[in-house]
Structure 1
Amino acid sequence: MNLDQLRGPVFSLFRMVTGLLFLLHGVSSLFGVLGGNQGTGLAVEFAVWPSWWAALIQLVCGAFVLAGLFTRPNATLASGSMAYAYFVVHQPEGLLPLINGGELSAMYCWAFLLIAVLGPGGWALDPLIRRRGSDATEPASVRTA
């Protein structure tokens, strides 16, 4: 078996797992479940900068990246939010991620940047929407031929 044949499916799975984990992080932060601040209602106070907004980005962008829908803009926003988290929250505590606790932010930042650059992969809604949109713009005589 040629490992290059697995490139597309493995990248799609990478995108989906990254999106799912980010989505779950947002759910945990917003609702205090899944290991979040359990028993306290919302884990972060509504509309408080930056924690609530970061959690909302995690929830929304994670869901869209998981589905492969509007993947590039959502992955770009997720990557930028994690770069912000790293440089504003973690980096002042120390230079290296192992010292400042910013490994997760750094990894998400780079993972979402990779997804933003490479796109959603084959197992995504973006290519389906693009195909459907191009079908709708073709004249009926071309579509039936």
Structure 2
Amino acid sequence: MVTRLGRAQPYALSLFRIVVGLLFTCHGVASLFGVLGRPMLSAGTWPGWYAAVIQLAGGILVALGLGTRTAACLGSGSMAFAYFDVHQQTGLLPMQNGGEAAVFFCWTLLLLVFTGPGVVAADRLPVFRGATREGTRPQQEQPLGVPV
């Protein structure tokens, strides 16, 4: 028997993905454009500017649910790099080195690589699902956690 919470799981996953994507986008916007209390990075500086571009583009794609797994994988990897290359130089633990955000983004984006975007995603729109012949319907994917 499926509980009410079980039926809401695919929608909760979509909401989770949207929030994570928007927060990731905000980090990119702040670094690239010098807003939200962050100084603007000079174009092409390694690794910060490239990480900000990944955050902006990847965050938008994750929030929309368009190429979620690929964008989340790239974003997760960039956050792992940020933690081990930038933050860990000043201390071992995230509380010591200010790397909590990098760790959270790394693991939440990695989770999205495995779970996918949920049921509310641009990837599920017919225009992004590939061309179908007239008179045929595209194959429907079964959302996670919903029994057949």
TM-score past 0.5 threshold? yes
Structure 2 residues without counterparts, runs of 5 or longer: 138-148
Letter aligned with residue 54 of structure 1: A
Encode CA deviations 1:114-144: one digit per residue, 9 max, x unaligned: 01111111110112247742xx333x3546x
Aligned counterpart, 1:83:
80
Instruction: Give me the CA root mean square deviation.
Output: 1.7
Encode CA deviations 1:16-40: one digit per residue, 9 max, x unaligned: 0000011011000000112222xxx
Letter aligned with residue 15 of structure 1: R
Equivalent position to 1:11, from 13, 16, 25: 13
Structure 1 residues without counterparts, runs of 5 or longer: 38-42
CA distance in 2, matches of 1:78, 1:131: 22
Q: Per residue, is there more helix in 1 or in 2? A: 1
- How far residue 90 of structure 1 moved from its aligned partner, in angstroms, is 1.0
- How far residue 96 of structure 1 moved from its aligned partner, in angstroms, is 1.0
Q: Report how many aligned residue pairs link the two structures.
A: 135
Aligned counterpart, 1:94:
91
Alignment of 1:56-75 (within 5 A): 56-75=53-72
Give the TM-score taking structure 2 as reference length.
Answer: 0.85
CA distance in 2, matches of 1:96, 1:45: 29
